[in-house]
Amino acid sequence: MRPRKVTLEESIARLARETGASESFVEKVRALFLGRGIDLEDSAEPYTYALADAFQRHASLRHQFDEARASLAKLHANLAELGEVFHGQLGRLRLLRESLERRNAALRREASSGEGAVRLVPGDHDRPVVPGPEEIQ
């Protein structure tokens, strides 16, 4: 008894189920055969390897696209978070700058009015030479 032949249509449908191929891809595969004058009721045997390879590649590409989409979404989320942190830091820096400008203006007013004595920091008038013997040691 001879085993029943598997048709192209059956093979395409089985591979589509196994790989989760999109309907548009399945339609393109069917159209490829029909466009070349190959009936979908013909035996799938001569095309088994090529069909399996095409469906596996399609599944692999879909998986890679899904990973890329997920990575892109994560990247967008990270960039949004980075933008928020940047704006927070920028706000703090602006406040600090304004505070320093106010303090600097107050110090200038003090110095120009003569109210505050100029504060010297130890070492302001120190000589840059270390005292020691005059002769070569």
Q: pLDDT digit string (tens) for 20-57?
A: 999 999 999 999 999 999 999 999 999 999 999 999 99
Average pLDDT of the residues in 61-73: 96
Q: Could you give phi then psi for residue 107, rounded to 5 degrees?
A: -65, -40
Domain boundaries, the chain: 8-81
Structure tokens at 15: 């591979």
Determine the Cα–Cα distance for residues 55 and 69; give it in Å rounded to an integer: 21
Q: How confident is the model at residue 9 (pLDDT cuts 50, 70, 90)?
A: very high
Structure tokens at 22: 């999109």
C-alpha atoms less than 13 angstroms from C-alpha of 8 in its C-beta half-sphere: 18
Model pTM score: 0.59
Cα separations in angstroms, 119 against 95, 108, 112: 27, 13, 14
